[in-house]
Amino acid sequence: MKKVGKYHVGRTIGQGTFAKVKIAVNTETGKNVAMKVLAKSTILEHKMVHQIKREISIMKIVRHPNIVRLHEVLASTTKIYIILELVTGGELFDKIVHQRKLCENESRRYFQQLIDAVDYCHSKGVYHRDLKPENLLLDYQGNLKVSDFGLSALPQQGVGLLRTTCGTPNYVAPEVLGQQGYDGSASDVWSCGVILFVLMAGYLPFSEADLPSLYRKINAAEFTCPNWFSSGAKSLIHRVLDPNPKTRINIEGIKNDAWFQKNYVAIRRGVEEEVNLDDIDAVFNDIEDQYVTEQVGDNGSGPLIMNAFEMITLSQGLDLSGLFDRQQDYVKRQTRFVSRQPAKTIVATIEAVAESIGFKVHSQNFKMRLEGVSINKMHQLAVVLEVFEVAPSLFMVDVRKVAGDTLEYHKFYKNLCSKLDSIIWKPKVDGRSSLLRTMTC
C-alpha cells in the first residue's frame, strides 16, 4: 500500500479531468479520509495554479457541519494532496434517482441544510456558483454536505457583480446566462430553488434538448409545479425562481418563510476557528521542508490486489454483501460488479462491448477509459473501469464516471451490464456467507 506522509493511501474512489480522489487512512488517528491528488505538471500545463489555490482557500475558509471539511494540504515534489472529510453516503442525486422523488418533509430537511450551508458561505463572501444535486453529498447519518467549490468565487473576486458564466445549465440563474454582471448570492439562491423542485418532483423544472430552448425557458421562468406540491412549497419555489434577481427572495426571506420554518432547527455556530491561508502558497512553491515522502509498494503485472481495509471502506460497516449485490434498481456515479472470469478475459470482453455501443476505448494495465457522446449530443460521457483482484480467481470491476451527466451514466451502466452478463458473477444467497468469510479472513 502506498504511503504519503502519515496517510496510508488506498484505491481511487473518484476521478475528474485534473484530479483523482483516493481513500486513505490517517495512521495517527485511524480515521478514514478522502485524498484529492493533483499532479503539479498538470496544474502548470493547464495554468490552473490560481484556480486550485482558490478552491483550497475556500475549503479552508468555509467550516460548517453541512460543508465537506478540508483537513490539510500536503505536497510532494510532483503532486499536491488535499486531505478532505470522507463522506460515505453517496450523492443526493443518487437518492433522488432511486426513490424517483422525495417526500415533502424529507425534501424540506435537505433544503434547510442546504440553505444553512449556503448562508454560511455567503457570510464569508463565498459564492458557490455550481450548486446541483451531484455536488451535494450525504454522510452516514443522512446529513447533507456541500462539496466541489471549484467554480466558487472568493471575497476579493466578489466585490460588486460577478461576470463569469459558469455552472450547470439546468441550474443556472437567468442573469448568469446574460452578458451583464450578476449577484453571486442571488444566483446561488436560484440554484437552491431548482434543487428543491428536483427533490420534490423528481425531474427538472427547466429541461430541453437544445440550449437555446433551455435558456428561453429559464429566462422566462417557464415552469409548472406538480399537483402534489403543497401550496406553501409552491409559493416559496415561485418566489425563489423569480427571473428578476432584484425581486427574488433572499436567504433571510427564505428562512422566515412559514413552509421553510416547519421543524427547522438552525445550526448553532460556535467560536469561529482562525483560518490561516499562508500555507497554501507554500504548498505550490519548491520549499523542501513542505514535501512529504511517497512510498509505493511493488505491484506485479496482474491486476491490483484489493486489501481488506479497502474492501471494508466500500461497504457500510463490516457487511460486504453490498459489493456483490447487483439486484438494486439504480446505480451510483461509482459502482462495481464481480467476475470469476480471468482478468484478461474481463478486459477483452468489456473492450468489445464498449466498442460495439460506440465508445472509444483506451486500455492499460487492467484499467480502461471509455469515451463517448451523450444521447442528446450536448456532453461527452467518459467512464473509467479498473479490475481488482479481491480473492484467488475472483475479480472486482470498479466503474466510475469521469465526465458527463450523471443520469446519462446511469443509463450507460445499465446498458453495459446487460451486455456483460456472460462475465458478471451473481453469487447465490446461500453461498454469500461463506464468500464473505473467505474475503475477511
Residue type, 306: M
Helix (H, G, I), strand (E, B) or coil at 105: helix
How many CB atoms sit inside 10 A of residue 324's CB? 20
The C-alpha cell 479481491 sits at: 390
Query: Among the options 130, 242, 257, 405, which is catalytic?
Result: 130
Helix (H, G, I), strand (E, B) or coil at 337: strand
DSSP 142: S
Phi/psi of residue 47, each to 5°? 55, 50
Question: Does residue 413 contact residue 335 with C-beta atoms inside 8 Å?
Answer: yes
Pairing of strands 144-146, 7-15: unpaired
- Return contacts of 427-434, CB within 8 angstroms, 24+ apart: 427/324, 427/338, 432/321, 432/324
CA nearest neighbour of 9 among 19, 1, 18: 1
Determine if residue 22 is labeled as part of a ligand binding site. no
**Cell triple for residue 64?**
460548517
| 130 is annotated as an active-site residue | yes
Q: Tell me the CB-side half-sphere exposure of residue 140, using CA atoms within 13 A.
A: 8
Binding residues: 36
What are the residue numbers of the active site?
130
**Sequence ranges of the binding site for ATP:** 36
